[in-house]
Structure 1
Amino acid sequence: MTTSLSPDLARLADPAVRPDPYGVLRTLREASPYTDPASGIVVVGRRSDCEAVLRNPKVSSDRQGSGITTVPQMPNLMNLDAPDHTRLRRLAGKAFKPRLVQQWRPRIEEIVRELLTDIAAGENTADLVSAFAYPLPVRVICDMLGVPREDHPVFEKWARSIAYTVDPQLVPGRLSTEVVQEVEEARAGFVGYFGRLIAERRHTPRADVLSELISAEEQGDQLTESELIITCILLLVAGHETTANLILNGILGLLRHPGQLRLLRERPELAEAAVEEVLRYDAPAQMITRIAREPFTIGDTPVTPGTPLLVLLAAANRDPDVHRDPDTFDISRGDPGHLGFAAGPHFCLGSVLARLEGSIALNAFAQAFVEPRLDAESLRYRPHVAVRGPDRMRVSFKEIRVDAVRVTGTSERSVASRG
């Protein structure tokens, strides 16, 4: 793959497009599937084609050496193929079964109330990125992994740095030496920290996900020390960045569509449907990359081994051949079909947790914030292309009704994990 792109494709990385990439994505979807003449990347944007690529055994998730990623990645669930991926997912998935994840609902609700209480104690305005959406998933996944509260801020900093590793290299030289160094420092910090934490949990298991990952076994097979560390890093980074952006994109959608906010306030049972609509309408995961390992054809486009593929999930989620009025935000549409968590063997392992956090957070926003208003001038987006969401978003409000957010009870698991 070359490092140049045709102008249409290069626009995806233009910061000016970040606030609303959907016009560009529509153009690319309508032209797809096609081979970008400048880079050789096969662009896929139609829903049926994207899903076909994600489920195709002739396509690899191992992008190392392809030129489509710049920062070296550690082998993990996102970039391994079968049988290594199958084994690792089978073992790690034991700690993320829906029944186990649901036991964390009381603790998530408790954290939401804590954050809202802090916001309510200040002035009648807040940056919901730093005050709500970013700390929530960090606290949740840190609690689940048994990370003490005092270490949460450094984990958030490390997670934000490593998020650069998932971006395709659409613009040559976009990642500075300083950014790459920050990624490596964050990775080294995680490896050292989790190495020590794993040793502690082997000696003294607790009611947390890390202890369950350590004990996960199938036919005598268990995760190795290295696999445990890498899985912990992935869970924290993926569970932080994507869930925070899911919450932020959802709040932004509700603020821009007051009728939908009013509907959710009146019908809180629509919170789960609201999450599905955000994942379709403005998903945090905008695109992913794959590499062909065998020849195949997508549409009328031949794909040769070694060819990079850019799968435009956000374009597929607004495909008019699949979704009625695809550019309309409607939490009552009742259409859960989307690629917000990808599809196939690499369907997001943490989808149950992300959906749970998202539904609690969006419902809490609808119920607790009285007369919220977006400060449009404050809205700034993160520099990432693959995972998209605001980096700053101030919201003013008349008051916050913390008591409107219920806590279903305190489970033994959530209490034991608070550290």
Structure 2
Amino acid sequence: MTEHVQAATTDPLFNPLSPDFIRDPYPHYERLRSTDPVHLNVHGAFVTSRHAETGLVLRDKRFGKDYVERQIRRYGTKIMEEPVFRSMSHWMLQQDPPDHTRLRSLVVKAFTARRVEDMRPRIQEVVDQTLAAIIGQGHMDLIEDFAFRLPVTIICDMLGIPEDHREVFHKSSRYGGRLLDPVPLTLDEIKQANAGTMMAQMYFQQLFELRRRTPGDDLITQLLQAEEAGSKLTNEELTANITLLFGAGHETTVNLIGNGLLALHRHPDQLALLKSDPSLITNAIEEFLRYDSSVQMTGRVTLEDIEDLGGKRIPKGESVLCLLGSANRDPAVYPDRPDRLDITRPNVRPLSFGGGIHFCLGAQLARIEAEIAIATLLRRLPELKLDNAESPQWRPTFVLRGLKELPASW
């Protein structure tokens, strides 16, 4: 590992938290793909930027998560005493089989295609109510006032969070993105994340007790009943994965809606095309996912020696960072101007929701929420203009790519 770090310290190709990278990572990705497609970064992790290697790592069982070992190697043995890291170690997102299989099987029924399709009327209702409350103002922040409220409301519905508790969630801050970044957290960031984790744990423990007394038709009730039926999940696993579902259930959808609206307004021809032919919205969502993915990267660990990944030998136990945003613009897969938004692009199929056993549970829900939100906004506010489309303010996180704000008027 020491040799790896020394070999990489002078290489500036991958610095994902630099302001220039946050503002526009795509030129950096192009350099990675063309000069060093399986790149060794300054923290000793291998970084895949082409579609071929990235897709392989996501699907291949020789790559796993091994979350605890990765954090110990990064921070030292005491890191798992920190509440946020202890909680994240129980996330199904960070687990390998058989624990991943056990945990995922408990929640997958809530995200079946049929159940998600049945949510369309409720999603439309929330979008209509949100717009009705602000349409007379003539202006809004498309992130806070629009994109944020929809997925938070829907995941609260799914989890069974009572109506009178929800305003706290609607007003909650969005600082969790740094937890997933490949650059180690500072002590202050760990302290802030611990505080947020412990507050979430306290709230959900109280909600669990409420749902034990008064069961509902919601995911928390279902998981509590599974817990009581046997040893399928521990209380720590239950709390951690409800916290994960709440965060994952809204964070990426907020970014999908915001990034998609920004991309449309930066491509006026595509905006006009979608307004003139609303039936293109389903394909447009796939193109938004490809063009500026809400999730830019996911990580794996080699579970055995990998003799050849893009020409590199990777020993067992090494971290591999998969640049989904870069793979989504690989000209080997998207030869027709991959850096341009094209809502008619055929067979888009981006890697934005990951792949293999960790493919995003909520992928179809996120698609439908974004589809209804953007289509309704364009229909109800056809004259809407972005106030700052050329120099938007991005959140200072890399893995979860999204805007701080997106002011608009009509």
2-side partners of 1:149 and 1:177: how far apart? 36
Instruction: Indicate if the aligned counterparts of 1:94 and 1:216 stay in contact, CA closer than 8 A.
Output: no
* Counterpart among 342, 352, 362 of residue 340 in structure 1: 352
1-side partners of 2:240 and 2:110: how far apart? 15
Deviation at 1:138, TM superposition (A): 1.0
Residue 266 to residue 191, structure 1, CA distance change in 2 (3 Å):
same
2-side partners of 1:299 and 1:357: how far apart? 37
Equivalent position of 1:317 in the other structure? 328
SS of 1:147's partner is coil
Deviation at 1:239, TM superposition (A): 1.6
Equivalent position of 1:295 in the other structure? 305
**Is 1:271 matched with 2:281?**
yes
Greater helix fraction, Structure 1 or Structure 2: 2
The TM-score with structure 1 as length reference comes to 0.87
Residue 269 to residue 40, structure 1, CA distance change in 2 (3 Å):
same
* Counterpart among 336, 340, 349 of residue 328 in structure 1: 340
Equivalent position of 1:359 in the other structure? 371
2-side partners of 1:96 and 1:213: how far apart? 14
**Is 1:386 matched with 2:399?**
yes
SS of 2:174's partner is helix
Equivalent position of 2:198 in the other structure? 188
Equivalent position of 2:46 in the other structure? 42
Range that drifts further, 3-12 or 102-111: 3-12
Instruction: Indicate if the aligned counterparts of 2:32 and 2:39 stay in contact, CA closer than 8 A.
Output: no
Q: Which runs of 5+ in 1 are unaligned?
A: 398-419
Range that drifts further, 315-324 or 267-276: 267-276
Instruction: Indicate if the aligned counterparts of 2:54 and 2:324 stay in contact, CA closer than 8 A.
Output: yes
**Is 1:372 matched with 2:384?**
yes
Equivalent position of 2:151 in the other structure? 137
Deviation at 1:120, TM superposition (A): 1.0
Residue 220 to residue 301, structure 1, CA distance change in 2 (3 Å):
same
Residue 146 to residue 319, structure 1, CA distance change in 2 (3 Å):
same
Equivalent position of 1:80 in the other structure? 95
2-side partners of 1:323 and 1:118: how far apart? 41
Q: Which runs of 5+ in 2 are unaligned?
A: none
Deviation at 1:380, TM superposition (A): 0.5
Residue 378 to residue 225, structure 1, CA distance change in 2 (3 Å):
same
Deviation at 1:220, TM superposition (A): 6.4
SS of 1:318's partner is coil
Equivalent position of 1:167 in the other structure? 181
Equivalent position of 1:29 in the other structure? 33
Residue 121 to residue 394, structure 1, CA distance change in 2 (3 Å):
same
**Is 1:211 matched with 2:221?**
yes
Structure 1 counterpart of 2:108, one-letter code: G
* Counterpart among 121, 140, 145 of residue 126 in structure 1: 140
Equivalent position of 1:112 in the other structure? 127
Instruction: Indicate if the aligned counterparts of 1:270 and 1:331 stay in contact, CA closer than 8 A.
Output: yes
SS of 1:207's partner is coil
* Counterpart among 51, 56, 63 of residue 55 in structure 2: 51
Equivalent position of 2:162 in the other structure? 148
Equivalent position of 2:72 in the other structure? 65
SS of 2:182's partner is coil
2-side partners of 1:68 and 1:55: how far apart? 28
2-side partners of 1:39 and 1:191: how far apart? 31
Deviation at 1:16, TM superposition (A): 2.6
Equivalent position of 1:13 in the other structure? 17
Instruction: Indicate if the aligned counterparts of 1:66 and 1:308 stay in contact, CA closer than 8 A.
Output: no
Range that drifts further, 370-379 or 288-297: 370-379
* Counterpart among 197, 204, 217 of residue 207 in structure 2: 197
Deviation at 1:244, TM superposition (A): 0.3
**Is 1:98 matched with 2:105?**
no
SS of 2:16's partner is helix
Instruction: Indicate if the aligned counterparts of 1:59 and 1:291 stay in contact, CA closer than 8 A.
Output: yes
SS of 1:232's partner is helix
Instruction: Indicate if the aligned counterparts of 1:214 and 1:222 stay in contact, CA closer than 8 A.
Output: no
SS of 1:8's partner is coil
1-side partners of 2:10 and 2:376: how far apart? 43
The runs of at least 4 consecutive aligned structure 1 residues that moved more than 6 Å come to: 68-71
1-side partners of 2:215 and 2:148: how far apart? 28
Within 5 A, what are the aligned runs for 1:211-230?
Answer: 211-215=221-225, 222-230=232-240
- Identity fraction in percent: 39
Deviation at 1:191, TM superposition (A): 1.2
Instruction: Indicate if the aligned counterparts of 2:11 and 2:42 stay in contact, CA closer than 8 A.
Output: no
